[in-house]
Amino acid sequence: MSRVFTIARADARRAFRSRLVWGAIGLLGVLFLPSTGSSARPAVHPITEYLLILPADLRTFSLVVVAAVGYSAVVTERVTGTLRFVLGLPATRRDLVLGKLLSRVGIVVTALAVILVIANVLVYQGYGSPYLLPFWVMGGWMLAYVVVWSAVTVGYSAAFDSPYRTLGALVVTYVVFSFNFGVWSVVIRPLFALLFTGSLDPPSYDTLATAPLWLRVTERLNPLVDFWAAMRWSIEFVGPGTPTGGPLPQLLGSVVFLSFGLLPLVFGISRFERIDLGDAHAGSHIGEWIWRSLWRVRRAVTGSFSFPGALTQSSRIRRLAIADLRHTLQNWVVAGAVVVTVLLTGPALWGAIDASTVFTDTEVLTRIPLSFTLPVLVLGIAVGHNAIVGERTSGTSRFLLGLPVTRRELVVSKLLSRVSIVVATLLPLLLVAEALVVTRLGRPYPGAFLAWAGWTLLYAVVWTAMTVSCSAAVSSRYRSLAATVALYLVFARLWDELVLPAVAFVVTGQSAVDEFTQAANPPAWFQYADNLSPFVALETIQEALFEVTGYGTQQTTLDVSLFLYSVAALLLFVGGVVAIGTARFDRSDLR
Amino acid sequence: MPSIETHGLTKRYGNDVVAVDDLDLTVESGEVFGFLGPNGAGKSTTINMLLDFVRPTAGESRVLGHDPQTNPRAIRERTGVLPEATGFYDGDTARDHLQFATAMKRTTDDPDALLERVGLADAADRPVSGFSKGMRQRLGLAIALVGSPDLLILDEPLGGLDPSGARLLREVVRNERDRGAAVFFSSHIMDQVETVCDRVGIMHDGRLVAVDTIDALHAQSATPETVSLSVETAPQGVTDQLAAISGISEATAENGSIRITCPDPAAKTDAIARLDEEGVPILDIDTEASSLEEVFLTITDDSDTAGANRV
């Protein structure tokens, strides 16, 4: 056991040097503390409410830290070969995993404890009392929350042989259990409802204690429900507030919640103890199987395939794209992203496309693209971010460019293949969405289908082109990710806060833009400046498509000149990003 | 008790690849055993099984009397390991690595003394990220020496080492043997190991095709030994007489030297006796024995032929 501590100490020392760890902890403070401080006042939230709002935010933010600190714990030792160094010393594989868990839990708990102490000070300032007991009951549950998720993360890190698979498993686990994504409420809860009531429609409930017994039991299989219910009950038990129900359900729920951490850890250790280290004799990949199946179908349809004798530029690009398609299908990051896309989109579509007393059919139809925006972002990043920089870091760019291929042809082929993968992933989902429209709204609404499906594909193509271009422009995978995220932040999230105020200052002498962003008819200069953002231009194009096909809403109008301007701005933006990426790749030295 | 013992040790990957096939091997304590063979012969897979990095498909192994799968810690406490393609923590210094290794082995070894021993004293406080491949090998060797282990397992320790590094490695190996430790190391560079090994085992296509002392392997080898005899004058017809001796395949005379090729090493004494009978004074004798590499090639060729015949 003492060697576990030796490993933990050495690992904590290294982890504290990691920029990723410090960045994640800093991000937690930056994201969480400002909003917490401003709302910690009785005038904004009574203390009973605030003690539940605080962990509601914190449980999401803290997961980012847990993931950043823990995902690479064991798997990176395998990837870098340091595992052989450690296991060459008197350490067992179990010692290593437990040591890693200990150090990573220590880091996460310390970081969260600091944040909680600051939050408690803010509570004292805002409410005139620190509410020590209820606050630290909540704090204790939050610390248990990150410990349990750390166990899940380190367990996955031991179970899988690449950091990306580890992250993928973590994301899928969170998406399945979290209510933010609807997999539990749209897929799993209806299955239990079918089992116990014969209907796929489960009853809704305000608090779990008032739900039917079968629902109370099955909901307890969701560890995040257990965590929340037990924490809420505990806070209310020590006051302020009144707990609903007795302690027994919370006790059982706590056992399920703790088991949630224990099971992946045990699974991870068990798998890690069985695997062979370092021998690259992996079995066949499902992507390879898919590829070979598709190729067989192609041969059956078109006969024996052969390339023409003389290579033209287009045939070279086509060959490169086909080779890249094959390699991308074998990539676990892409496979995981496709799974996550389906997991995110399916439940969202299931919940969004339904006859409603609140929304008209037109409103339901115009809201369909919303179900695709987040999945397309994830898919585009996963498929595109490593497209070209991956060739550079692995050295295969030297192999490719040693053949009669130019760098520009390589970029074009990558664009073609990666966009094809994204489109091929989305097409079945678009058809599923249309099937839901037909079955639930009673009509196919072909005009609306063309509008929302066409827009979704346009959005996917644009975003993937941007991620591939970022991949061409930089020299490392992390920089590619950073450039992609920066593009998104600047043009989607910070556009209203950073760029538009600067434009407004030039035009009006004042940087405030609220009056323009909230106005029904903002001035033309503002609209044209706003539509320089590709994301705003995409929104304008979406509204125009719905208007043209006869599905405009009361809030939208068709402004042809603005639409054409948005199309031009979007094309110029994407063309510009691709051109910059290609030019930088053209000039770069290959290692 | 042998330091390493395997019986029927086998590792398969899928149905097609047999990395190690039915390996029976014994390495005695206090001996230096060279585990030789070309790339892909199964050397590293064998070592990985001995270190419990890779699990055997069949067979069993014991290292220092322990089963690597059930009692890896007991083995690692008394073993110094230099795995092939091992990684190091790039942000840590050489001293950090040795301090961690001494903490894990519960020894009081001085990291500086170990770094001095492998010629890395000047780089003790430099992050490993800036180390060359040879420096990493030296660091790995220093780590393997922590705790004066009873057994050193070195996987391709010569990889990346310059001539002075290779000489240092040979010195370390001899010193460790003199201390009483067994040394088991793999290599595909035959001529570098010849001078330090007590015995060698030759792996080929996952099978152990020969185990013996280097002298015995030379004797077994079908590669003919060549002997150059310096003489004052070579009488006419003497080469024909020599070539007629059983065990000699060829004899030539040129510039005061008679050169004979002996598929049977014992035949060279018959040749010398014949020259004495003929009254030819012999000024010097130079024997060109086959190199270990030639021995290896001969053995593996035989192995291939035997395999082909089996098919």
**Closest CA in chain A for residue B147:** A89
**Closest CA in chain A for residue B99:** A10
pLDDT-derived band of residue A6, with 50, 70 and 90 as boundaries? very high
* pLDDT at residue A288 greater than cutoff 70: no
pLDDT tens-digit map of A522-552: 888 888 999 999 999 999 999 999 998 888 7
pLDDT confidence of residue B309 = 47
pLDDT-derived band of residue B149, with 50, 70 and 90 as boundaries? very high
pLDDT confidence of residue A282 = 46
Least CB–CB distance from A88: residue in B83, B85, B106: B83
**Closest CA in chain A for residue B73:** A90
Average pLDDT of A144-160?
95
Among the listed residues A574, A572, A547, the one whose alpha carbon sits nearest the alpha carbon of residue A559: A547
Phi (first) and psi of residue B137, to 5 degrees: -65, -40
Structure tokens at A491: 């043009």
pLDDT confidence of residue A303 = 62
The answer to whether B115 and B98 are in contact (CB under 8 A) is yes
pLDDT-derived band of residue A320, with 50, 70 and 90 as boundaries? confident
pLDDT confidence of residue A567 = 95
Among the listed residues B182, B215, B214, B191, the one whose alpha carbon sits nearest the alpha carbon of residue B201: B214
How many angstroms away from the CA of A67 is the closest CA of chain B?
Answer: 21
Q: Report chain B residues whose CB lies below 8 A from the CB of A94.
A: none
Average pLDDT of A97-123?
93
Tell me, what amino acid is at B105? Answer: K
pLDDT tens-digit map of A446-498: 999 999 999 999 999 999 999 999 999 998 888 898 899 889 888 987 888 78
**Closest CA in chain B for residue A82:** B87
Tell me, what amino acid is at A315? Answer: S
The answer, for B55 touching chain A at a CB cutoff of 8 Å, is: yes
**Which contacts qualify for A569-572: CB closer than 8 Å, 24 or more apart?**
A569/A531, A569/A532, A569/A534, A569/A537, A570/A462, A570/A534, A570/A537, A570/A538, A570/A541
* Alpha carbon distance A406, A420 (integer Å): 21
pLDDT tens-digit map of A337-352: 888 888 888 888 888 8
Tell me, what amino acid is at B305? Answer: T
Range with the poorest average pLDDT among A91-100, A389-398, A517-526, B186-195: B186-195
* Alpha carbon distance A71, A568 (integer Å): 42
Q: Which of A16, A84, A271 to mutate to test the interface with B (most CBs of B within 10 A)?
A: A84
Q: What is the mean pLDDT of chain B?
A: 86
pLDDT-derived band of residue B310, with 50, 70 and 90 as boundaries? very low
Q: Which of B54, B84, B89 to mutate to test the interface with A (most CBs of A within 10 A)?
A: B89
Give me the total of CB pairs closer than 8 Å, taking one residue from chain A and one from chain B. 89
Least CB–CB distance from B13: residue in A77, A82, A281: A281
**Closest CA in chain A for residue B81:** A88
Planar angle of CA A284, A288, A293, nearest 5 degrees? 120
* pLDDT at residue A1 greater than cutoff 60: no
* pLDDT at residue A264 greater than cutoff 70: yes
The answer, for B91 touching chain A at a CB cutoff of 8 Å, is: yes
Among the listed residues A258, A177, A189, the one whose alpha carbon sits nearest the alpha carbon of residue A218: A189
pLDDT confidence of residue B272 = 82
* pLDDT at residue A413 greater than cutoff 60: yes
Structure tokens at A510: 């004042």
Q: What DSSP state is assigned to residue A72?
A: T
Least CB–CB distance from B87: residue in A10, A84, A274: A84
Q: What is the mean pLDDT of chain A?
A: 86
Residues of chain B with pLDDT > 70: what percent?
A: 93
How many angstroms away from the CA of A48 is the closest CA of chain B?
Answer: 47
CB-CB under 8 Å, A89 with B76: yes
The answer to whether B110 and B95 are in contact (CB under 8 A) is no
Average pLDDT of A113-129?
91
* Alpha carbon distance B178, B173 (integer Å): 9
The answer, for B137 touching chain A at a CB cutoff of 8 Å, is: no
Residues of chain A with pLDDT > 70: what percent?
A: 94
Least CB–CB distance from B91: residue in A17, A274, A278: A17
Average pLDDT of A172-198?
83
The answer to whether A269 and A94 are in contact (CB under 8 A) is yes
Range with the poorest average pLDDT among A381-385, A403-407, B99-103: A403-407
* pLDDT at residue B311 greater than cutoff 50: no
Range with the poorest average pLDDT among A272-286, A428-442, B289-303: A272-286
Average pLDDT of A87-116?
93
The answer, for B49 touching chain A at a CB cutoff of 8 Å, is: no
CB-CB under 8 Å, A92 with B87: no
How many angstroms away from the CA of A21 is the closest CA of chain B?
Answer: 15
* Alpha carbon distance B229, B256 (integer Å): 9
* Alpha carbon distance A55, A64 (integer Å): 14
CB-CB under 8 Å, B82 with A90: no
Q: Report chain A residues whose CB lies below 8 A from the CB of B85.
A: 81, 84, 278
pTM of this structure: 0.73
Higher pLDDT, A591 or B108: B108
The answer, for B237 touching chain A at a CB cutoff of 8 Å, is: no
Would you tell me how many other CB atoms lie within 10 Å of the CB of residue A9? 15
pLDDT confidence of residue A311 = 57
Range with the poorest average pLDDT among A436-445, B1-10, B241-250: B241-250
pLDDT tens-digit map of B88-132: 988 889 999 999 999 888 899 999 999 999 999 999 999 998 899
Average pLDDT of A100-110?
94
Query: What ipTM is given for this predicted complex?
Result: 0.73
Average pLDDT of A37-60?
85
How many angstroms away from the CA of A10 is the closest CA of chain B?
Answer: 7
Q: Which of A85, A87, A98, A272 to mutate to test the interface with B (most CBs of B within 10 A)?
A: A85
Per-residue 3-state assignment (H helix, E strand, C coil) for chain B: CCCEEEEEEEEEECCCEEEEEEEEEEECCCCEEEEECCCCCCHHHHHHHHCCCCCCCEEEEEECCECCCCCHHHHHHCEEEECCCCCCCCCCEHHHHHHHHHHHHCCCCCHHHHHHHCCCHHHCCCEHHHCCHHHHHHHHHHHHHCCCCCEEEEECCCCCCCHHHHHHHHHHHHHHHHHCCEEEEEECCHHHHCCCCCEEEEEECCEEEEEECHHHHHHHCCCCEEEEEEECCCCCCHHHHHHCCCCCCEEEEECCEEEEEECCCCHHHHHHHHHHHCCCCEEEEEEECCCHHHHHHHHHHHHHHHHHHHC
CB-CB under 8 Å, A90 with B87: no
Phi (first) and psi of residue A294, to 5 degrees: -60, -40
Least CB–CB distance from A85: residue in B13, B87, B105: B87
pLDDT confidence of residue B290 = 64
**Closest CA in chain A for residue B101:** A89
Percentages helix, strand, coil for chain A, rounded to the nearest 5?
75, 0, 25
Planar angle of CA B70, B74, B78, nearest 5 degrees? 140
pLDDT confidence of residue B223 = 65
Average pLDDT of A118-123?
91
How many angstroms away from the CA of A267 is the closest CA of chain B?
Answer: 18
What are the angstrom distances between the C-alpha of A101 and each of A262, A300, B288? Answer: 12, 52, 61
Average pLDDT of A6-24?
86
Higher pLDDT, A515 or A99: A99
pLDDT-derived band of residue B62, with 50, 70 and 90 as boundaries? very high
The answer to whether A118 and A32 are in contact (CB under 8 A) is no
How many angstroms away from the CA of B248 is the closest CA of chain A?
Answer: 48
The answer to whether A146 and A139 are in contact (CB under 8 A) is no
Among the listed residues A480, A191, A178, A517, the one whose alpha carbon sits nearest the alpha carbon of residue A344: A178
Q: Report chain B residues whose CB lies below 8 A from the CB of A86.
A: 104
Least CB–CB distance from B51: residue in A81, A88, A92: A88
How many angstroms away from the CA of A461 is the closest CA of chain B?
Answer: 39
pLDDT confidence of residue A283 = 46
